[in-house]
Amino acid sequence: MPEHLLLPEPRRLPSRRAGGAGGGAPQRQRGDHGRHLRQQLANTARAPRRIDQGIDPSLVFKIKARSRPDEAAFEGRGLRVLGETLDYTYFVLADDQGTALSQAIGHYIRTGDLRSFFNLIDDIEPYGSEDRLGPGIDELLTGYVGVQTVDVSIWPADTLQEAQARVRTVEAVLARSEGQILLRSVTARRSHLRVALNSDGLRDLLETSVVEVIRTPPVPFLDFRDWRDLGAGELTVVLMEK
Every domain of the chain and the residues it spans: 30-127, 132-215
Assign 1 a pLDDT band (cuts: 50, 70, 90). very low
Q: Which residue has the higher pLDDT, 237 or 216?
A: 216
Checking if the pLDDT of 5 tops 70, the result is no
Checking if the pLDDT of 184 tops 60, the result is yes
CATH class label, 132-215: alpha beta
| Cα–Cα separations (whole angstroms), residue 230 to 111, 221, 222 | 77, 18, 14
Cα–Cα distance measured from residue 171 to residue 177, given in angstroms and rounded to the nearest whole number: 10
pLDDT digits (tens, 9 = 90+) for 17-53: 434 445 567 889 999 999 999 999 999 999 888 888 8
pLDDT digits (tens, 9 = 90+) for 49-104: 888 888 999 999 999 999 999 888 898 898 999 999 999 999 999 999 999 999 99
Secondary structure letter of residue 82 according to DSSP: E
Task: Give residue 8's pLDDT.
Answer: 54
Outline where the chain has alpha helix (H): 30-46, 71-75, 99-111, 115-118, 137-140, 160-175, 199-205
Mean predicted lDDT score pLDDT of the chain = 86
Secondary structure letter of residue 105 according to DSSP: H
Task: Give residue 26's pLDDT.
Answer: 84
Determine if residue 37 is left, alpha or beta; phi over 0 gives left, psi from -120 to 50 gives alpha, anything else beta. alpha
